[in-house]
Structure 1
Amino acid sequence: MSPRDRVLSMFDRPAPGAVPVRGCPFIGAAAEFPDPGTAVHSYAREQKLRMVRLVTALVAELGCREPAALGEQLVTLADGAASRGMVLGDPDYGRHARAAAETLLAHALPAGAS
């Protein structure tokens, strides 16, 4: 799978029979343990930072002019899609975030990048 496809797969509808969308477990954990000094909150933070590093590396591989900014924007979209999908009971809510992600990628990547 290409780096672009890997990025966009964050917004795919869950496979049939998959566990229902419950939002991001790390956001839930951080909300339950709001003190940043707790081990749970710290672990959730590290996982969120790891995700942005992974996405940033993918968009850098595509030749993005500002990979750190685009990485943050894309994971913010993914977090929002997961949360809204859970609250609204719409497992396909990621389609909206995917459209926004495609626009961000189109504007941030050199012509012809895939």
Structure 2
Amino acid sequence: MTATGTATGTPRRGGRGARERILRAAVELFSRDGIHVTGIAKLTEAAQVSTRTFYQHFPSKEALVSAYLQRVETDTVGPVHGETVLERTDLGPRERLLALFADAAPATVVRGCPLHNAAVEAAGTMPEATALVERHKREFTRRLIKTAAEAGAREPETLGRRLAVLFEGANALSTSLNDTQPYQDARELARMLIDQATGPS
């Protein structure tokens, strides 16, 4: 076996584009099968690169996991992208808070938040990945608090934190049940919390 092929003759491609192919394979396989189940051999097979090429771009699997999390965090599609509804300028702050729960609900198989899933798998074994997820979740909560303040909440920090719990809970329960109903329930609960926080005292 050489750096450009396998014992079975499957071609391997290095050079330009190899890093992107590895990342795309990670996004697909980690999201679908999980991080621990997906080994280097499966990644290199899907990306059509040699093991040598893989390690030229990512010195360890943890380095790839961190790059994967950064990719899904900034991707223009996927479950994390739904959080960007908080930045929309065509909606008022109250509508943005409610739209978060509608826009996050997937139409087919529910796999949950890839950042949360990665944190569960990486707990105690991948400190860089764990820190990245924690940073993202804290920033997401800050954005909720900011939007809650714009919506006129009397205690925006309390409302923002509660909406974060509600959102993460809907993600987790939908994943467990493979059902989008928790998102619908969470939206109604969010409406009640927002009305309570912004209505007459």
Q: Same fold (TM over 0.5)?
A: yes
Structure 1 residue 37: Cα displacement: 7.6
Q: Which runs of 4+ in 1 moved over 6 A?
A: none
Structure 1 residue 71: Cα displacement: 0.5
Ranges in structure 1 where 5+ consecutive residues have no aligned partner: none
Residue 23 (structure 1) aligns with: 112
Residue 178 (structure 2) aligns with: 89
Q: CA RMSD in A?
A: 2.0
Q: Say if 1:33 and 1:41, in contact at 8 Å, map to a contact too.
A: yes
Distance in structure 2 (CA, Å) of the matches to 1:80 and 1:27: 11
SS at match of 1:103: helix
CA spacing shift, 1:110–1:48, aligned 2, 3 Å: same
Q: What amino acid is the match of 1:44?
A: V
Residue 187 (structure 2) aligns with: 98
CA spacing shift, 1:10–1:36, aligned 2, 3 Å: farther
Residue 41 (structure 1) aligns with: 130
Q: Say if 2:97 and 2:147, in contact at 8 Å, map to a contact too.
A: yes
Structure 1 residue 26: Cα displacement: 1.7
Distance in structure 2 (CA, Å) of the matches to 1:15 and 1:87: 14
Ranges in structure 2 where 5+ consecutive residues have no aligned partner: 1-90
Distance in structure 1 (CA, Å) of the matches to 2:124 and 2:94: 36
Q: Say if 1:26 and 1:45, in contact at 8 Å, map to a contact too.
A: no
Identity of aligned residues (%): 31
CA spacing shift, 1:47–1:36, aligned 2, 3 Å: farther
Distance in structure 1 (CA, Å) of the matches to 2:99 and 2:125: 30
Structure 1 residue 86: Cα displacement: 1.4
Give the TM-score of the pair, scaled to structure 2.
Answer: 0.50
Q: What amino acid is the match of 1:12?
A: A
Q: Which of these residues, 50, 56, 59, is aligned with residue 139 of structure 2?
A: 50
Q: Say if 1:36 and 1:42, in contact at 8 Å, map to a contact too.
A: no
Structure 1 residue 93: Cα displacement: 2.3
Give the TM-score of the pair, scaled to structure 1.
Answer: 0.85
Residue 2 (structure 1) aligns with: 92
SS at match of 1:76: helix
Distance in structure 2 (CA, Å) of the matches to 1:103 and 1:73: 12
SS at match of 1:96: helix
SS at match of 2:154: coil
Equivalenced residues, count:
109
